[in-house]
Structure 1
Amino acid sequence: MIVFNDFLKWLSIDLSIKLTISLISLLVAYFLLEKFKGGKRIPGPKGLPLVGIAFSIKKEKMHLELANYARKYGNLCRFNLMGSDIVLVSGLKLIHEVFVTKQDGFSSRYLSNRLGILYKKEPGITAMNDDEKFRELKKICLKSFKHYGDGMETVESLTMRSINKFFTYLSNANGKAVDINDKIQYLLADIVYSMLLNQELSEEEISQITKMSIQFVEVTFGSKALLLELFPWLKYFGYKAYKKICDYERNVCAFWNKVIDQRFLMNQDEKNKDEISGAIDSMYSQLMKSSFQYSRASFCKTLQSIILAGFSTTSSSMYNFLPILLNHPQIEKRIFQEVSEAVGHSRMPCLEDKKNMPYSEACVLELLRYTTVVPFALPHETDRDMDLDGYQLKKGTQVYYIIC
């Protein structure tokens, strides 16, 4: 009875006082946990209690700020982000150790509260742990694109059709300055999608695909979405960031479900039997024969991951290549001269011309060496207690990798 009366008194206290007491209790618990953590401490920025470095970094420049931490604290450092301790790995020696020498201990994908909303129940290939099912799906994806090996003319035709649409856009500008940022994204998304389905994409579909890919970063890495890491219960109170993540998942699945239905519910007699099927046909048929169970939602998210990886990485290379050529006109001039000699001005280039353009090919390879397509590898977590560079990492430790 006494305990119940005390509880009633607690309920009667002003709300602001309750919040203050709760916050102080959380801070005390946080400092005690930090103080009594055992083992040799990995160096790194302290950050603020509970939120860590969340409010001191900008999502647009996160890779640069984390790279600064690596330079300041070493190739192995730690930081706190929304209450979670994260180990940051960089440098060739440690990256090789994690991905090659000790890969079995770092092979699990880490799913944050935000990514868990998207992938926990129905993971796509990017959210799967390194197990037999993941390896099979990876093999199926690679094999499905390799089926074009005997039909590169089809790939060339699909690619040139998309490129011609891009050149038409530039021609219609009549020499005026144009912003090609969105158009390059549309171009590359169109090419990857065309290779998946071996069919042309409408402008509306191209726009929808690129928007979904861009939204992935916005809905999962925005500052409001980060609060779900510290307060996951916000999703039960109509939190807008949570709703945006759920809406994104529904939109991705709805788009690809429509594509799949149109593709595989089509009467087989209506398909051109002489035409090379798209990669999606090969993927779908192999998944249906697999001993593992793959859900429709998992297939949809895998397809979206392929689009995202294909156009975002290639577009980054394109954005880097153009200003590099502007700053090195002698290289641009030599590439133009080689293309003019090998191709001429009366037709578009083709794959057959590649053997006659060694300098241009060397420039592309140098671009991939010189620039960074993506600064981070996907986050992982340790499968068991691991030793790295003289420090102990407990099972379940989040690990980020700087690969630039």
Structure 2
Amino acid sequence: MTDHEQDRRTGAPSRYVQGPGALRRLGRYTRRLGQGLFLISDAAGIERIRRDVEEGLPGAGGVEFVPFEGACCEKEITELVRRFEASGCQVVAGAGGGRHLDVAKAVAAFARAPMVMLPTVASTDAPCSALAVLYTPDGIFDRYLYLDKNPDLVLADTAHIAAAPARLLAAGMGDALSTWFEARACAEAGGKNSFGTAPGAAALCLAQGCWNNLLCCGAKALEQAREKRPGEELETIVETNIYLSGVGFESGGLAAAHAVANGIASLGRANRAGHGEAVAFGVQVQLVLEQRLGAQPLRARQDLSQVRAFCKSVGLPTSLADLALADITGAELSELARVALDPAGNMGNMPFAVTAEDLIGAVKALAQPV
């Protein structure tokens, strides 16, 4: 074991701000980072937030809105870096969902500029992480871009998040759902987090807090999202989906749940299932594996029952049928297992060995919904 691997490293954004109308106070938090905001989003997203952002940046050097509809690929990023450097702006921001946040992270990293994340949905835990996912120009996964630091600011305006489709909040809960179960598995296995070190106590506390908050507030938060009103439970779940899960997954480590989600994503016909929905199903597969192969089968059985009840309460999938994969073929199951068991992936953070036969059997055990 190297000296680095003996460390316990926890990464987090320098500042996290959340609340209804937070975009109208944006300048208060970006002033320390520099003058002028180079803000990347799609055209529709820009129109949704333009008035609030302009109100929030008086005397802060203004904002250049940059409509972006392309793929998060090196060619597009290189062009955006050129535009940023010619703009006179000092700060790079991304607004919207995962793709535009990742593009902004990459641009900021290559331009060595301060990085601001403005999520307008809580469908993923990506805003807080030091990671961007790069694709080819035609949208095929290329590689992960690991950044030198986490974002300088993550600001979540819950008025905009509450206005987004409720299904996106539920998907974020699916992503957050995995955080505790994967971090626990990683810690028990002596595995590594995203920084290549053991998960520390802070990460494990945040990860467990994800699960506690989901059980306590998830269903009520979804009601508030459907009614387009930010209440206390919605505020708790937004922070859970974005911050607790974002720091918890990166510093706590990933395991079987995300490995299974990657396998599901490799099946082209299943792409209509969002990442968080696939991860929620992956959590259940992980717990089936723990029940069959792990040292604490009773704990896994109880966890699986509780997780499936939670998923049903917020509309997350509990079966292959819910993912429109009731008719999954043997060849597709083999492909799912091949991707999930990739040695470069996350399955190695499980505290026991998993074979393709084990994994396919666990997936098939969840053929029917609760």
Normalising by structure 1, we get a TM-score of 0.24
Larger radius of gyration: 1
Higher share of residues assigned helix: 1
Give me the TM-score of the superposition, normalised by structure 2.
0.25
